[in-house]
Amino acid sequence: MTVATLRRATVLERSAPMRTAVELVLHEPEAAVAAKPGQFFQLGVDAQHTLLRRPYSIAWANPDLGRIGFIFSVVGAGSAWLGAREAGQPVELLGPLGNGFATPGPDRTAVCIAGGLGIAAFVGLVKGRDRLGRRTVVLLGARSSDWLLPADRLRGAEVRVATDDGSAGHTGRVTALLPRALHDDVELFMCGPNEMLLAVVRSCRELGFPLERVQVALETPMGCGIGTCLGCALPARGGGYLLACQDGPCVTADRLDWDRMDGI
Amino acid sequence: MVASGTFGYGFDAPQVDRSALGAMVTKGTTRAARTGNPPVRIAETASGMLNAIGLQNPGVDYVAQTYAPQWVEWDLPVIVNIAGESIEDYVEVARRLDGRPGVAGIELNISCPNVEAGLQFGVDARLAAQVTEAVRAATEMPLMVKLTPNVTDLVGIARAIEAAGADSISAVNTYLGMSIDVARRRPALANGLGGLSGPAIKPLALRAVWEVASAVEIPIVGVGGIFTAEDALEFLLAGAAAVQLGTVNYVRPDAARLVRDGIVAFAADSGLPDLGDIALRPRRKAVHV
């Protein structure tokens, strides 16, 4: 069980890695040491009329410098407030929370398939594998090139791109890039909109790629982040529900009931 | 105390200092385990949140056998919130908890639909009294009944519950509401409707406590949108003998300590030795403690 800790972090810098997203770099040394790729924090928001914290996955953490990076797009009042934080201002963090990615063996290739801002969950994973000299392939899909995290943020990985409008890479869905990437030595990681996750699962089934070797970083509306509100339930294989905050956010895809995931 | 459904069974938030609490009320517990509603289960609204969790819980036997023995070790009274679809359900859940070490009392959630009657127990004075009376007969433990505010005659229902033998009343449960996802043109919650909680309902809950407190003699526990010590003091001034913190626990795991410290500081500053006695309107003499 994660021991949730309230921490006061300070904004070191805010930037826009691409036109459609904000990157917030926070200073909180203990959290930077504790944070593992795939885990998340609940970020405190003080915007008018908002209530809950915002659950953001860790984009990357640098324990040596005590830094944590979050990459997100502004979609509502909470993300707008966070996206307007400036250097020197405090941000309250609860976490790190949940289970991060399971680390594949040294001889495995990690294939990370991301839709839109789902790529944020993989920045630290790619960096860590690059440091260890391990092979990583990133399949990055977005509606247009405006939404693509620049490839230099994914150094060390082979990045293959797909856009809906053809403004970069393959024209069409990112799942079209899957068949060529799924080899016997692959561990697949996925993060993105529900429709993309469903499409990846369909492809894996068609290609005979076992869902036990697919790790998904779950994203869903969340209340507390620590397992008490039961608000972030997602359908589990065999009946009942998993909690994204406590059982995830990273789980192997075989643990979910994808028929019931459809339409959520 | 912490309100039902906002603290699980007390095992999910180990960083919370339980010594800041007067009591813990558990997640709603039913006769059989329930898996709960399909997602999406929660939605944030202006200064509030909607939930339709669907009483996900492991069932009373699991609670009695696995959780209660652990609560015995805690220096904190644990009140188990119970729910059911029939009077027989409620009675059976209460019976299985009665006298169980680690269980300090029962809070009756009467906001559940009665399958036979087709409406919630808590919206009808006669049904509310029937279920209270039946559970009263099944247990000698302290019995608190939680009012649903989605009614016309809250005071009448409170009086009926008092007459049926409740030791105290918690007021109030969530307000029925909804939110619609415009982009997807469908309700934000899979269940359609949900219970609204948080600061958005505080003035409404306060009014409920204000009215019920002057109508019954048993103690009232105020609940609804309390986020700060000042909020809690408003409820005490309105006639509540104690308060429950709910949604704030999702936002601030240290909320109970902050609110308690604020109340203690207020008492010291204002020179009031007994905050149980600060109601603006005199309560009738309480017969139970």
Q: Is residue B3 part of a domain?
A: no
Structural domain span for residue B174: 18-277
What 3-state class would DSSP assign to B170? strand
Q: Is residue B121 part of a domain?
A: yes
B43 interfaces chain A, CB cutoff of 8 Å: yes
From B261, B254, B162, B177, select the one nearest B217 (Cα to Cα). B162
Q: Is residue B10 part of a domain?
A: no
B190 interfaces chain A, CB cutoff of 8 Å: yes
Q: Is residue B284 part of a domain?
A: no
Looking at residue B278, its pLDDT comes to: 81
What are the distances in angstroms from CA A136 to CA A100, A108, A111, A202, B137? 17, 9, 6, 22, 66
Catalytic residue at B112? Answer: yes
Where b means 16+ CB within 10 Å and e means fewer, B175-190 reads bebbbeeeeeeebbbb
Nearest CA in chain A to B37: A233
Across the range B9-28, mean pLDDT stands at: 83
Alpha carbons B172 and B188: distance in angstroms, whole number? 24
Q: Is residue B4 part of a domain?
A: no
Chain B nearest CA to A54, separation (Å): 10
Q: Which pTM does this prediction carry?
A: 0.94
Tell me how far apart the terminal alpha carbons of chain B are, to the nearest angstrom: 16
pLDDT tens for A17-70 read 998 999 999 999 999 999 999 999 999 999 999 999 999 999 999 999 999 999
Confidence category of residue A4, pLDDT binned at 50, 70, 90: low
Alpha carbons B264 and B243: distance in angstroms, whole number? 14
CB contact under 8 A, B39 and A220: yes
Can you name the residues that pair with A251 across neighbouring β-strands? Answer: A216
What are the distances in angstroms from CA B262 to CA A22, B86, B231, B267? 37, 41, 10, 9
This model of the complex carries an ipTM of 0.93
Across the range B148-174, mean pLDDT stands at: 97
pLDDT tens for A146-196 read 999 999 999 999 999 999 999 999 999 999 999 999 999 999 999 999 999
Q: Please name each of the domains of chain A with its CATH number.
A: 5-97 (2.40.30.10), 109-261 (3.40.50.80)
**For chain B, what is the mean pLDDT?**
92
B44 interfaces chain A, CB cutoff of 8 Å: yes
CB contact under 8 A, A223 and B42: yes
- In sequence order, which residues have a C-beta less than 8 Å from that of residue B287 and are 6 or more positions away? B217, B218
The domain total for chain B is: 1
Residue labelled with tokens 């397992």: A227
Nearest to A228 among B13, B38, B199 (CB): B13
Q: Is residue B117 part of a domain?
A: yes
Q: Is residue B120 part of a domain?
A: yes
Q: Is residue B45 part of a domain?
A: yes
From B78, B31, B39, B34, select the one nearest B55 (Cα to Cα). B34
Looking at residue B112, its pLDDT comes to: 74
Q: Which CATH number fits the domain that encloses residue B139?
A: 3.20.20.70
